[in-house]
Structure formats: C-alpha cells, structure tokens
Structure 1
Amino acid sequence: MNDDQITFHGDELYDAFLTRRPVAPLLGRNPDITIADAYRIQERFVARRLTAGEVIIGKKIGATSKPVQDFLGVYQPDFGMLTSAMVHADGATIDLGALIQPKAEAELAFVLKDDLKGPGVTAMDVIRATDYVLPCFEIVDSRITDWAIKIQDTVADNASCGVFVLGTTKGDPRRLDITLAGMVLEKNGELFSTGVGAAVQGSPANAVAWLANTLGDLGIPFKAGEVILSGSQSALVPVADGDELVCTVGGLGSCRVRFSGKAAA
C-alpha cells in the first residue's frame, strides 16, 4: 500500500473511534494488504490519538489463546499500543456508550521495573524485568463492522484495543507460578469460565517475551513502568448494561469491573 492509502485507513479508524461508527473490513476492500501494511495503518491510528493528547503507557498482546483465536478466526498473535485514555482502576464502571461492540477478557498484566529490548529476550528475562503482575480485564472493541476481522484488520485497528482495568493486588512473578496459577471468571455472580496461565503461549511470560522480541526487531523497546497485557486466559465475554465481572487468579487476587449504558453497535 502507498503512503496515501496508509494515511487514509489510519484516519478512517481514528474517525470510527471518535464517532463510534464502525467501518467495513479493510482486507475486504484491499485484498493485497499485508500485515506490514496493517502495522503502518496502526501506527497512523495511534499517532492521531497521541496528537490529541494521549500518551503511550504500555503494550498489549492479542490473539494468544485458542478460545480467542477460534472466535476471531485469527491464528497468530498480534500487538497494539496502550494509551493513557484506556486505563481504569479496579472496580471501575465502564461506560459502554463510549465503545462500539465491546467484549471482555481476563488476563495477567505485567508492570516493568526495567527496560527490556529484543531480540533475544527469554521468558526468564521478562520475569527479571518485571516489578509485579496484576489480574486485569481488557475490554476489546473492534472498529470493524460486526467483528468481521482477519489478522490484517485487527492489527490495523490497534489489535482491537478498547480499555483495560487493572487490579490492585500485586504479585511477584518470581514467587507466583504464573504458568500454573488458575483463573476463575465470574459474570454476575455465576461462573463463566476458568483458565490457566499455560493457555497463553505456554506461559504469559512467553507471550511477553515474544512481544519484546517482535518489537525489538522494529527498534521499539519496553520501558520501565510500562504495562504489558499478556493475552487472554478466558473466553471473550459479551457485556451489557448492569453486568459485573470478577476474575480471580490463584495466589494473587481479583479484579472487578462493572458496565453501564449501551454500546454504539
């Protein structure tokens, strides 16, 4: 794709974010779009948000677990940028009216104490560079109509980033077995799904190492203090007005989020 096409689609996705009106799948309109093209579109989309006053506070890994891959029809990981406008505290009530077609997923967030840059980063390097881990929810939201996405669509759409909610209980990944620690997700007081860290690329630390190396090849480091979302350990959860979700990680603690209003789509 040429520069004008990249700019057009990045701006189109930014406008969809502002207006909460989704756009037709990019791949359907551009059959030759590559994943490299899609990341350039993502860069333009994120740049528009930064120009408007947001700052990057971390990164996310998407499409790491089989339930999410099966739902999306996307069978390889991707990544997106987290900004200051996306983060919410434990127990927050999310206004669905600010989103288009949100779905929630429960996962583990890594907060870094050291810079980390690939290539060559291992899962042990990730553990050493991590200050603490937190239970969290990511509320994904596609700017593509009806979630009709392929990998190029979700990559261009900043890995379908919506907002995220961080728990308050801090765990030391050198003491907590993040691979075997179980996760229980409840919706409105009833069990919705269970998961385990090993469902995410064998370990959440493996997923974070993959991202560090992928971004390192692009000259992009992890920075101390950044939040890294390691990928869903749950199935995607539909959410509506009045819903409450709680995810609990064994040996760590819980994260809670509520929802109000009606999404645009």
Structure 2
Amino acid sequence: MLSPDDIAAIADELAEADRTHGVIPRITARYPDATVEDSYAIQGVWRDRMIASGRRLVGRKIGLTSKAMQQATGITEPDYGVMFDDTVFDSGSEIPTRRFSNVRIEVELAFVLARPLAGPDCTLDDALDAIDYAVPALEVLNSHIELEGRTIVDTIADNAAYGAMVLGTERRRPDEIDLRWVPALLSRNGEIEETGVAAGVLGHPATGVAWLANKVAQHGARLEAGEIILAGSFTRPMWVSRGDEVRCDYGPMGVIACRFV
C-alpha cells in the first residue's frame, strides 16, 4: 500500500491537473503495487481539499456498471466518485470544453434520494424505497490520467473520471415507470452514435444505488437524503469536441440537449 506522503502527493498532482486541464502519467506505471484502497484514499484526500476550498458535495457517480462500459475500458469492476455543485448543468446549457480533458459523454439515469441509505446489506428493494425520483442525465467524463493502459486504480484515484453532469427535466418515481426499459438515442451533431436501454446497468439501474450504499459503508459512510446518484452508463462513451451539439432522447423521460463551446 502507498504511504500517506505518496497518497497526498498524488492528490496534489490530480488537483493541479484539474486546475490546468492537464494529464498526468498513470499511477500504476509509477506505483505498480498501488491498491484499490490506495486509490480511494487518494480520491478522499482530493475530495476533502475540494470541500475545504468551498465546493459543496451534491452526490456521487457510479461507473463501469454496464457491459458496454466495461468492454470500452477493459475494466470489469464498478467504481465511484463524488460530484460537486459547480459541476451540475441543466439541459440546454453550453458546456465550456476547456474545463475538461479527454472529453466524452455517457448516457445515464440519476436518482435523488428521499431518505438516507446505508449498507452493508442494502438490496435493490431498499434502494427503490429510498429513491425520491429518477431523472435522465448525461455525464461528462474528465480524465486527468493518461488513458492508455489505465487500470481501476488509476480511474478511481481520478475521481472515477467524473467531470460534470447535465440533468433533464422529466422526473419519475420508481413506481411510475419500469426503469429497466428507459431507452436512449444519443446523437452528436444530428447523427445517432449510441443507443441502449437502462437495464444494461446491472439488470436494473437502481441496482447501482444499492451497490454504492454497500461500498461506501466499507469506508464508514452512507448515502444521504437529497444526494444525486448517477447510476452508470448504458451506452459506450462518445467523444465530443468544442462546437459539438449533443442530444439524447430518453423516450418517455424526455430529451437532454447541450452544446460544447
């Protein structure tokens, strides 16, 4: 395992890369014995520094929960990161591309919790009972670690590659719609690039919420009422560049649109 000094130094590197929109060498290339627990420790130091600087935590993202994403990255274990208030955009927003590195889009559902949810034995039914509503969301990936050869350790340390999210306006309670069958048609500049249905995330997108509650319980935490939980993508990531118009049609859950500037 990494020493506290190594963990702090890597957290500093990632904070600087975030500030300058840069990319650093893979952690696992320099510290081949680094573990998943090391990577969450790095993320935790970075998170605490962001909170100390005045940023407000609004939720968490789950990643690598679908076969599409696992095949796209070569990583088969889900992960999670944190989300701050200054990373949330409404549908129709202009997204400043310069804020991010290796910019890609993922198609997801987000869940807002009506009450706290704690592991370590949380089930899908527990998660559905705790959820206030689901809302469609696009995640903007933001990778500060070189992509070639990266592992789960690199991804987790880099806050699970989270950059921002764009939230839709259509809200549904879990008892109002079969969330497994929420569709998505993801377009860039008018051309459909990816399609999928939400069941691609662990068979039911809210399964990821239960997984997350159990995972954070290992670190002495729980999910709190009001938190936004991004459940994981059910399409492969789509690369975007400045000037791109992005649109995602979620059928009965409406449309999200944004433009990268």
Q: TM-score, normalised by structure 1?
A: 0.95
Cα deviation per residue 1:40-98 (whole Å; 9 max; x = unaligned)?
Answer: 00111112211221011101101111222222221110000111121111111111111
Q: Which amino acid aligns with 2:164?
A: V
Q: Report the CA distance between 1:147 and its aligned residue.
A: 5.3
Structure 1 equivalent of residue 156 of structure 2: 155
Counterpart position of 1:167: 168
Provide the C-alpha distance between the structure 2 equivalents of 1:245 and 1:201, rounded to a whole number of angstroms.
26
Could you list the runs of 5+ residues in structure 2 that have no partner in the other structure?
A: none
RMSD of aligned residue pairs (Cα, Å)? 1.2
Q: C-alpha separation between the residues in 1 aligned to 2:46 and 2:73?
A: 21
Correspondence list, 1:77-88, <5 A:
77-88=78-89
Q: What one-letter code is carried by the residue in structure 2 that aligns with 1:239?
A: V
- The separation in 2 between residues aligned to 1:132 and 1:29, in whole angstroms, is 43
Compared with structure 1, are the counterparts of its residues 154 and 195 closer, same or farther at alpha carbon in structure 2 (3 Å cutoff)? same
Other-structure match for 2:104: 103
Runs of 4+ in 1 over 4 A off after TM superposition: none
Measured after TM superposition, the shift of residue 186 of structure 1 is: 1.8
How far the C-alpha of 1:146 sits from its partner, in A, is 3.9
- 1:193-232 aligned at under 5 Å gives the runs 193-232=194-233
Over 3 Å counting, the alpha-carbon distance change for 1:27 and 1:193 in structure 2 is same
Note if contact 1:11-1:48 (Cα within 8 Å) is conserved in structure 2: no
- Partner-residue secondary structure (3-state), 1:44: helix
Partners of 2:230 and 2:151 in 1: CA distance: 21
Partner-residue secondary structure (3-state), 1:4: helix
Seen in structure 2, the aligned counterparts of structure 1 residues 187 and 175 have a Cα distance that, compared at 3 Å, is same
* Whole-angstrom CA distance in 2 between matches of 1:96 and 1:222: 30
The answer for unaligned runs of 5 or more in structure 1 is 261-265
Q: Figure out how many residues of one structure are paired with residues of the other and give that number.
A: 260
- Taking only the aligned residue pairs, the percentage that are identical comes to 38
Residue 114 of structure 1 aligns to which amino acid in structure 2? Answer: R
Which residue does 1:76 correspond to in 2?
Answer: 77
| 2:179 match: secondary structure | coil
Contact 1:110–1:134 under 8 Å retained in 2: yes
**Contact kept? 1:135, 1:247, Cα under 8 Å:** no
Residues 114-263 of structure 1 mapped to structure 2, 5 A cutoff: 114-146=115-147, 148-260=149-261
TM-score (norm 2): 0.96
3-state SS in 1 of match to 2:232: strand
SS in 2 for 1:85: helix
User: How big is the shift at 1:148?
Assistant: 4.2
The answer as to whether partners of 1:135 and 1:249 remain within 8 angstroms in 2 is: yes
